[in-house]
């Protein structure tokens, strides 16, 4: 059976490149009816951050990446690494120095530090062998480790799994994506309002790039717009934390963050006092709205706006009266989303009544 693993360090929210690796491993396992193991590479306490593992688990759940086994924590597997070192010593592939550290004879790679803790290289290989991993899918930045890890695997009496390297995600400057570029972590994308389905679709589109790729923010934003447009009314309302009645206002949003702003405009507009010139428009709007149902269909809302335009109404003033802002969602959607009672009250306040 195909067994793959995703092995992040607990350093906080997943970097977008690490997320690409996680999605690629899940897709590879699914294509072969295999298993994905989550391994937490925490042999270096200095790199771990409080709550780092929990952030990773949350990011994977947000992306819809299911792990079949784990998390397996390297910090809890010391006896396995100690036994692996003994095998390497017994095979005469490694030697212990005067300080107690153990190194491979070929190349001098350290397997065990003098304090008895395993290095990344030993722990990674020992885990892959112990967990019966069949394929390792990881970024190109790990290519330099391949030959070393193959030698370690043979020193332990095994063979390294098949290894597939994929390209890295780069910023527009051609350098490895980092915090200075923005949009570099799953937490940042989530905070910016990208729907999880859009981020997952983008990573699935990248597949297993042979070469490094530049982050395509335009494509990611397009996927966000398409995702929001395709969401059901109930799902979109839930994602934004708004009542389903205001969903028409949310439909044109480019992100969930913008959708939340739109919902606020429809539900809690800022107070606005308009000049007397706006009064005829507001008065006509009140007449039309009083005659219409409590809740309007989009077609009914558009009909009211057409009537106002026909008599030279100031639609900018109406938008200000209803939302407290000069820009925002489609005005017809706002008129449809706001109840008759609220619409009349807002028009009265803005007109100084």
CATH classification of the domain holding 121 = 3.40.50.620
Residues 16 and 163 in one domain: yes
Spatial separation of the C-alpha atoms in residues 37 and 131, rounded to whole Å: 8
Q: What is the DSSP letter of 28?
A: H
Q: What is the mean pLDDT of residues 306-317?
A: 94
Residues 21 and 165 in one domain: yes
Q: Identify the helix (H) or strand (E) that includes residue 137.
A: strand 135-139
Q: Domain ends where: 230, 250, 267? A: 230
Spatial separation of the C-alpha atoms in residues 208 and 201, rounded to whole Å: 13
Determine, yes or no, domain membership for 198: yes
Domain that holds residue 225: 181-230
Residue 150 has pLDDT above 90, yes or no: yes
312, 276 contact by CB (below 8 A): no
Determine, yes or no, domain membership for 235: no
183 pLDDT band, cuts 50/70/90, is: low
Q: What is the pLDDT of residues 8-65, one digit of tens each?
A: 999 999 999 999 999 999 999 999 999 999 999 998 877 888 899 999 999 999 999 9
Residues 200 and 138 in one domain: no
- Structurally, the chain folds into a number of domains equal to 3
Task: Please state, for a pLDDT cut of 90, what percent of the chain lies above it.
Answer: 87
Least confident of 57-61, 109-113, 184-188, 204-208: 184-188
Residues 36 and 126 in one domain: yes
Q: What tokens were used for 141?
A: 């930045």
Residues 106 and 202 in one domain: no
Closest CA to 254 of 288, 209, 217: 217
Residues 74 and 196 in one domain: no
120 burial class (0-12, 13-18, 19+ CB within 10 angstroms)? middle
Average pLDDT, the chain: 93
182 pLDDT band, cuts 50/70/90, is: low
Give, in order, the Cα–Cα distances in Å from 29 to each of 5, 36, 64, 124.
9, 6, 14, 20
Q: What is the DSSP letter of 274?
A: -
Give, in order, the Cα–Cα distances in Å from 351 to each of 176, 273, 340.
55, 6, 16
Task: Report, in angstroms and rounded to the nearest whole number, the Rg of the chain calculated over CA atoms.
Answer: 29
Residues 33 and 164 in one domain: yes
Residues 155 and 186 in one domain: no
Residues 11 and 156 in one domain: yes
Residues 203 and 132 in one domain: no
Residues 50 and 162 in one domain: yes
Q: What is the pLDDT of residues 223-279, one digit of tens each?
A: 999 999 999 999 999 999 999 989 999 988 999 999 999 999 999 998 888 889 999
Determine, yes or no, domain membership for 66: yes
71, 41 contact by CB (below 8 A): no
Spatial separation of the C-alpha atoms in residues 62 and 22, rounded to whole Å: 12
Closest CA to 91 of 99, 83, 80: 83
Spatial separation of the C-alpha atoms in residues 209 and 57, rounded to whole Å: 25
């Amino acid at each position: 059976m195909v067994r793959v693993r995703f092995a992040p360090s607990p350093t906080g929210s997943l970097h977008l490149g690490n997320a690409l690796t996680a999605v690629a491993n899940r897709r590879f396992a699914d294509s072969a009816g295999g298993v994905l193991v989550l391994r937490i590479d925490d042999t270096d306490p200095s790199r771990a951050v409080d709550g780092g593992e929990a952030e990773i688990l949350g990011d994977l759940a947000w992306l819809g990446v299911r792990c079949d086994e784990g998390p397996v924590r390297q910090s809890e597997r010391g006896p396995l690494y100690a036994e692996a070192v003994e095998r390497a010593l017994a095979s005469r592939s490694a030697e212990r120095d005067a300080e107690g550290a153990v190194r491979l004879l070929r190349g001098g790679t350290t397997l065990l530090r003098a304090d008895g803790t395993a290095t990344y290289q030993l722990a990674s290989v020992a885990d892959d062998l112990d967990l019966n991993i069949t394929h390792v899918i990881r970024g190109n930045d790990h290519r330099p480790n391949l030959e070393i890890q193959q030698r370690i695997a043979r020193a332990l009496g095994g063979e390294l799994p098949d290894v597939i390297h994929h390209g890295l995600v780069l910023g527009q400057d051609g350098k490895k994506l980092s915090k200075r570029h923005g949009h570099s972590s799953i937490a940042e994308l989530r905070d910016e309002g990208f729907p999880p389905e859009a981020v997952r679709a983008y990573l699935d589109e990248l597949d297993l790039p042979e070469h490094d790729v530049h982050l395509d923010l335009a494509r990611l934003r397009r996927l966000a717009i398409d995702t929001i447009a395709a969401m059901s009314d109930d799902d979109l309302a839930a994602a934004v934390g708004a009542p389903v009645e205001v969903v028409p206002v949310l439909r044109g949003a480019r992100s969930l963050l913008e959708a939340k702003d739109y919902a606020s405009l429809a539900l809690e507009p800022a107070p606005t006092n308009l000049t007397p010139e706006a009064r005829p428009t507001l008065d006509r709007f009140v007449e039309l709205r009083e005659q219409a149902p409590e809740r309007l269909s989009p077609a009914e809302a558009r009909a009211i706006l057409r009537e106002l335009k026909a008599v030279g109404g100031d639609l900018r003033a109406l938008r200000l009266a209803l939302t407290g802002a000069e820009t925002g969602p489609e005005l017809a959607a706002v008129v449809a989303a706001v109840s008759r009672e609220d619409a009349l009250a807002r028009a009265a306040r803005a007109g100084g009544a």
